Amino acid sequence: MAKEFYTERDIEDMVQRGERSIVVHDDVVLTDLAYEKARRLGVELIQQEETPPAAPVRPYINNVKTKPAQQTATRPTPSPKLEMIRANVKAAVQAKLGGQISDALLDRVIDRVAAELGLK
């Protein structure tokens, strides 16, 4: 049997049609963004069996605690090691993508990964 793939856009379209659940089994694959969109829009993911879905749920994406906008502007002083990593990652991303990504977004991604790895 062919696998069914769901993307973030597919989830949005389902909600617009009034569908509020998806039966998840071995032949159903949801992208990471589809999982996030389903969670945000209240789409219920019903597991047909006891096996996990084909695409893994990323805990570092799903369990992010956001802070109010005022608090995110001031970061604690990072370690010199983290600053070296930040500079290297920024240089590599800028070399690969140019100006397609903002520095603020890149800083948030680096901070999130550093926090998950215990570098902060």
Q: Residue 87 region, left (φ>0) first, then alpha (ψ -120 to 50), else beta?
A: alpha
Whole-angstrom CA distances from 44 to 24, 41, 57 are: 10, 9, 15
Q: Name the nearest CA neighbour of 30 among 5, 61, 2.
A: 5
Average pLDDT over residues 27-49: 86
What is the pLDDT, as a whole number, of residue 120? 65
Whether pLDDT at 9 is above 90: yes
Average pLDDT, the chain: 77
> Measured between alpha carbons, how far is 25 from 82 in angstroms, rounded to an integer?
41
Residue 12: pLDDT band by 50, 70, 90 thresholds?
very high
The CB-side HSE value for 87 (13 A sphere, CA atoms) comes to 7
The pLDDT assigned to 95 comes to 86
Is the CA virtual torsion 14, 15, 21, 25 positive or negative?
A: positive
pLDDT per residue as tens digits for the range 89-104 = 888 888 888 777 787 8
Q: Which pLDDT score is estimated for 26?
A: 80
What is the pLDDT at residue 61? 53
pLDDT recorded at residue 54? 54
Q: Which residues contact 29 (CB under 8 A, 6 or more apart)?
A: 3, 4, 5, 6, 53, 54, 55
Percent of the chain with pLDDT over 70: 72
pLDDT digits (tens, 9 = 90+) for 48-75: 665 555 555 555 554 555 555 444 445 5
- Between CA 4 and CA 7 the distance in angstroms is 10
Tracing tokens 């993508």 back to the chain, one arrives at 97
